[in-house]
Structure 1
Amino acid sequence: MFSLLMKERFYINEVVLGTAFGVVLGPHVAGILDPRSWGEKEEIITLEVTRVVLAAGLFAIGVELPRSYMAKHVRGLLIMVVPTMAIGWFIVAGLICELFPHLTFLSCLATAACLTPTDPIICAAIVGGSFAKKHVPSELRHILSAESAANDGLAFPFLTISLYLILDPTPHQAFSHWILIGWFYQVVMGVTIGAVLGFVFSHIMSFSHRHGFIDRESYVAQYLALAIFTTGIVSTIGSDDLLAVFAAGSAISWNGEFNKHTEDEVFSSVVDLIFNCACFVYIGAWLPFTSFNAPSLGITPWRLSALFLGILVLRRVPAILALYPWIPEIKTWREALFSGHFGTMGIGAVFISSLALHKLPKPHDVPVGEAEILASSLQPIVSFVVLGSIIIHGLSIPFLTLRGGVDLQIPSSASFLIEANPDRSPTSTVTPQLAREMPV
């Protein structure tokens, strides 16, 4: 009832509000919703709820990117995703290793893998809001959205190598499984299946539309149907469903026809909003506040707080500041700092940690062995960082508006260049070198 007021006046999105409402409904306040009281079913429900919401969000990002975006921006996207994730993975693992000495380095790598991906749902709520549309260049918003979608699926190899080294009897067998299963079977096959399904559905719907076999309402309904269909097929065979659904969304809108037929429809936005709100209410009730203080596992509030602060400063910002000269979409150090700060962690981290628990043995009351200690420590650490990210990143925009805001758009001093050639966009008129030299 007050959503427009909260979004347009105070710039507080549904992520923060949904999580807060979930905490209120949860076992520590009202006691109305308590997912952790559902026993063994809770892990499966959490895994599948986050899977479906991520699938819808990733498909939406793929569909809403500009025509043939992945082909035109593959260089910047690869540089922004792969090195940044790898650097952040090792940095976070090092922080965890220093703060939680009961965990081995392999367990720290597995925990860090859950915190490596940027959450696409929180990112979409931030870069798709009215503040970002006014102050952040569209090129930067698109690359942040594409990166948040791509690196969610690419978190699988980071997690699987850690788990294989922990669970497999020999390193040789672990690396063999990682290459054959983690990369070829999960990543490569997932992307291939998703892209093929997207292209096939795109041609079928174009054919049906040209011959009048499908109405507008049914055309828009394919938005959700294809996302669920792709997720179901790929997850059933055990491949990377997150990359698959993003590939399907990118493929179905490759020629821009799908966007043209659905651009005036609000159905997809309504579905995304319902899914996102429901999921963050669930996460708010699911958060294990009592596990944030478990001295027997070496988990204490001050260690968790120190970890989150270290992640906030070191996980992405140094890497992107170092790499941005090779990322054409990021033109100034301020844009690089903005991109590094908004490395949100949310539903994606919860999903990856739930997937890891699904592969790890169920721990005893007193964990025995490396795998059981990891299974007991994983979600308290991940969920605390997720809660901190929701608060800090979700409230960063309201804080910026109180401080007078930040404007990353091309400054007015470049307007004479645009006016001299109005048929060209600002990014095509102003060279990257000139844009970097201009004061922001």
Structure 2
Amino acid sequence: MALDLLKLYVNEVVLGTGFGIIIGPLVANIFAPRSWGSLNNTITLEVMRIVLVIGLFAAGVELPRAYMKRHAKSLLIMVVPTMAFGWVVVAAIIHVLFPKLDYISALCIAACLTPTDPVTCAAITRGKFAIKHVPEDIRYILLAEAAANDGLAYPFLAISIYLTIETSVQTAIGKWFLVGWLYQVILGTVLGAIIGFLFSKLMKISHSQHFIDRESYIAQYLALSIFTMGVASTIGADDLLAAFAAGCAISWDGHFHEQINDDAFFSVIDYVLNCCCFIYIGAWLPFYAYDSPEYDITPWKLVLLVIAIMVLRRIPFLLAIYKFVPEITCWQEALFSGHFGPMGVSAVFVSALALTRLPTPENPPADQAQYLAATIQPIVSFVVLGSIIIHGLSIPFFNVGLVAHSRTPSFSKTSTDQTHVAGLVC
């Protein structure tokens, strides 16, 4: 039992962030991304973009063959309504706690916190604890949801930005529909799917003719994700959805996944990128801004915000609609799925993207748009820090609880069609 208790399953998200804080300005001041001046936000945006694109492409490849087609109904319920509910609720919480932000500005900040982060979510979809204790259906649906809703954060951010900077509501809604949905989301998804499909056919033909060997698939794993991101970004489409669609398309028939299934090289690359990314985030966190009374930001308000978001952002809605999602069989699994909606790389990425579309704030801010630009990253980054701590340590907490109560940890369906969720029986 003592040995089992030591297996805390602490992942690279928590460790990387902790190390980043230690070497960052708060402690050692060895690595300080925010000291890079005007380039800080651009570098942060692109670092997060690369990590997300590779992670989303990997998520698409890891899903079973034709998964998106067979589980389209469940994903539609899990992604769009859940995101919309969380977006509106989180915005309301932000508006109440920070009344200087109007509701439209609160919607913009909430859009950064709406997507589930696929990198942080890896603790329950890929780790050893997940394989032993979480049902396969839950793992895949959470992985697919986290990947899909990352790209769909664009429309939620776009409508908030347009309503903030446009003088006409009609103009804002028109741009949101044409640019946010038709051009970015629809075009990005179709573009990624076409690239993935064509590349899949090319790889199969090359493999059958012995033009390439198995090792080439690993090299193309990285190359295709970066290529898809480059094409989509160049034309202004949603590069995150494009990368996920490309990953799904290239492994649609299962051939690509079979070629790389037993190779650990890409997993190592993925872990290295994730570690580096969260070290960057740990050093990037603006601790100095968490007590800024001039912007109505205080530590106790930020703590209340984190608690309210963790409780209200996903859990109530998933508990209400889980019966329409076949992969979730009982309320315990719905509670588990609702809790594991972490915020991390995607939230930092969307907040950095928002700053590229907002004016540079003066001191004091001249209008609501400048006030939003001055407060968006302090609020988002503190919630990200809270999510990393809470979600990153949830798995160790579950494991210690299971060992302490001397229960057999099992999330898998038994012969009596019961499901054990962290020691709770459905």
Q: Normalised by the shorter chain, which TM-score bucket?
A: over 0.9
Letter in 2 for 1:411: T
Which of 400, 410, 425 is the equivalent residue of 2:413?
410
Letter in 2 for 1:104: D
Letter in 1 for 2:49: R
Determine the structure 1 residue equivalent to 2:226. 228
Determine the structure 2 residue equivalent to 1:133. 131
| Equivalent residues in 2 for 1:370-389, closer than 5 Å | 370-389=368-387
CA deviation digits over 1:381-413, x for unaligned, max 9?
000000000000000011111111663321343
- Contiguous gaps of at least 5 residues in structure 1: 416-425, 427-434
- Given that 1:334 and 1:408 are in contact with CA atoms closer than 8 Å, whether structure 2 keeps it comes out as no
Which of 140, 143, 156 is the equivalent residue of 2:141?
143
Determine the structure 2 residue equivalent to 1:354. 352
Determine the structure 1 residue equivalent to 2:58. 60
Which of 77, 84, 89 is the equivalent residue of 2:87?
89
SS in 1 for 2:120: helix
In the alignment, the residues of structure 2 paired with residue 271 and residue 148 of structure 1 have an alpha-carbon distance, to the nearest angstrom, of 20
- For residue 8 of structure 1, report the CA deviation from its aligned partner: 8.4
- For residue 365 of structure 1, report the CA deviation from its aligned partner: 2.2
In the alignment, the residues of structure 2 paired with residue 364 and residue 7 of structure 1 have an alpha-carbon distance, to the nearest angstrom, of 52
In the alignment, the residues of structure 1 paired with residue 339 and residue 317 of structure 2 have an alpha-carbon distance, to the nearest angstrom, of 11
- Given that 2:123 and 2:130 are in contact with CA atoms closer than 8 Å, whether structure 1 keeps it comes out as no
Determine the structure 1 residue equivalent to 2:297. 299
- For residue 9 of structure 1, report the CA deviation from its aligned partner: 1.7
- Given that 1:119 and 1:346 are in contact with CA atoms closer than 8 Å, whether structure 2 keeps it comes out as yes
Structure 1 position 196 matched with structure 2 position 194: yes
After superposition, the CA RMSD in angstroms is 1.7
- Contiguous gaps of at least 5 residues in structure 2: 404-408
Letter in 2 for 1:249: G
In the alignment, the residues of structure 2 paired with residue 7 and residue 260 of structure 1 have an alpha-carbon distance, to the nearest angstrom, of 35
- For residue 115 of structure 1, report the CA deviation from its aligned partner: 0.2
- Given that 1:144 and 1:339 are in contact with CA atoms closer than 8 Å, whether structure 2 keeps it comes out as yes
SS in 2 for 1:121: coil
In the alignment, the residues of structure 1 paired with residue 288 and residue 49 of structure 2 have an alpha-carbon distance, to the nearest angstrom, of 25
Determine the structure 2 residue equivalent to 1:209. 207
| Equivalent residues in 2 for 1:180-195, closer than 5 Å | 180-195=178-193
CA deviation digits over 1:281-306, x for unaligned, max 9?
00000000000010000000000000
Determine the structure 2 residue equivalent to 1:257. 255
CA deviation digits over 1:81-115, x for unaligned, max 9?
01100000010000000000110110000000000
- For residue 6 of structure 1, report the CA deviation from its aligned partner: 12
In the alignment, the residues of structure 2 paired with residue 320 and residue 384 of structure 1 have an alpha-carbon distance, to the nearest angstrom, of 25
| Equivalent residues in 2 for 1:3-402, closer than 5 Å | 9-402=7-400
Moved over 3 A (4+): 5-8
- Given that 1:63 and 1:250 are in contact with CA atoms closer than 8 Å, whether structure 2 keeps it comes out as yes
In the alignment, the residues of structure 1 paired with residue 252 and residue 178 of structure 2 have an alpha-carbon distance, to the nearest angstrom, of 30
Determine the structure 2 residue equivalent to 1:432. none
- For residue 7 of structure 1, report the CA deviation from its aligned partner: 12
TM-score (norm 1): 0.92
- For residue 439 of structure 1, report the CA deviation from its aligned partner: 4.4
CA deviation digits over 1:214-265, x for unaligned, max 9?
1222221110100000001101111111000000000000000001111111
- Given that 2:290 and 2:298 are in contact with CA atoms closer than 8 Å, whether structure 1 keeps it comes out as yes
Query: Cα 1:291–1:245, aligned 2, differ >3 Å: closer, same or farther?
Result: same
- Given that 1:157 and 1:183 are in contact with CA atoms closer than 8 Å, whether structure 2 keeps it comes out as yes
In the alignment, the residues of structure 1 paired with residue 52 and residue 63 of structure 2 have an alpha-carbon distance, to the nearest angstrom, of 17
In the alignment, the residues of structure 1 paired with residue 77 and residue 124 of structure 2 have an alpha-carbon distance, to the nearest angstrom, of 22
- For residue 414 of structure 1, report the CA deviation from its aligned partner: 3.8
